[in-house]
Amino acid sequence: MEELLKRMRGRVVRHAPGPDGVTAVPNLFLSVLSYRTIPTMTLCDPMICVVIQGVKEVLIGGSVLRFEAASCFASTIELPAMGCVLDADSERPYIAVALMLNRDALASLVSEIAAEPAKKGSRLGFAVEQATTDLLEALDALLALLDRPGDIGVLGPGREREVLYRLLQSGHGNMLRQAIRQGNGTKNIRRAVAWMRLNLDQKLRTEELAAVAGMSVPSFHRHFKEVTSLSPLQYQKTLRLQAARRLLVASSDTTQAAFAVGYESASQFSREYSRLFGITPFKDAVRMRSSSYWIDSKA
C-alpha cells in the first residue's frame, strides 16, 4: 500500500490547485498544505475525503474524528464541521483527495449490486474507515486523468463510478446504502436541511421542519440527531454563524451580518459567534481579510 500512497502523493502534488482545491476532473478536489492550521468551521458536503499524508482532526457535533494516511471520511448529508490539520510541514505536507458524492450514480450502483443485510449501530450521516486497497487504486486511476486531461470527458465518469463501487464495498457501504434507500430517514432529513439552508433568516419551528421531512416531531428529532450529531436548533445556529462569517469576509459590519442571517440581537450574535469561532466577529473579519487564513477547501 505504501507504494500506492507514494504514487498518489506524487500525482496530487504535481497537480495541486489553488486554495479552493478545484481540479479539471468533475467533483474531484485536492489539498496540499505545508503548515498546520487552527480549527476552522466549514460546511461539509456529501463527500469522501481520503488522507494520503499527514493528520487532520474534525469535530462534528460531539464526535471528534481523526484522519491519518489511508483514512477515508465519508458524509451523506451536509454537516457543519470544525477541522484542523495537525501534522504538516514543508518536507511532509498534508495531502488529501476529496470526491463529492454523486447521489444518482450511487443510487444506480445500489440498485445493481446485491443487497447486504443492514447492520445495527452504524451512524447514518458520517464515519471514518480505513481505505481499502481497491478503493485507493480506483481513486488513483481517477487522479491519473489529471496527467491526460484530454481523457477526462470520456474516461472520467467510468472511473468515478468505479470509485463509488469500491466505496460501497468498503466499511462505508452500509451507511451509504441506508442513505440512498427510498423512505430512509436520511433522505427525509436532507429535505429539512435544504429548507433550513434556504431559510436561514427564518425562526425555526420544529413542527414545520418535521412536516417538511414527512415525520412526526419525536421521530424527526431522533433521526436528525442520529444523522447530524446535532439538534435542529444547534444545526441552524451553526449554519447561520457560518453564513455570517462569509459575509464578514467582505465587510466588518457585524450588525448587518447578524440581521442578514436571522439574529434579532447583535450582542447575542457576537456572543454566539465568539463561542463557536473563539474570536469576536470584528477581529475574525480583520484576520481573514489580512492573511491566508480563510481557506475554503473541500479536503
Domain ranges of the chain: 2-180, 185-229, 248-290
Which pLDDT tens digits describe the chain residue by residue (299 residues)? 899 999 999 999 999 887 778 999 999 999 999 998 887 878 888 999 999 999 999 988 878 899 999 999 999 999 888 889 999 999 999 999 999 999 999 999 998 886 665 555 455 689 999 999 999 999 999 999 999 999 999 999 999 999 999 999 999 999 998 888 755 677 888 889 999 989 988 888 999 999 999 999 999 999 898 888 889 999 999 999 988 988 888 887 899 999 999 999 999 999 999 988 888 998 888 887 765 555 556 77
What CA–CA distance (Å, rounded) separates 177 from 175? 6
What CA–CA distance (Å, rounded) separates 101 from 52? 19
The DSSP bridge partners found for residue 127 are 74
- CATH superfamily to which 2-180 belongs: Jelly Rolls (2.60.120.10)
- The label of the residue with cell 412526526 reads 216
pTM attached to this predicted model: 0.84
Question: Where does residue 4 rank: exposed (0-12), middle (13-18), buried (19+ CB within 10 A)?
Answer: middle
In angstroms, how far is CA 181 from the centroid of its own chain?
21
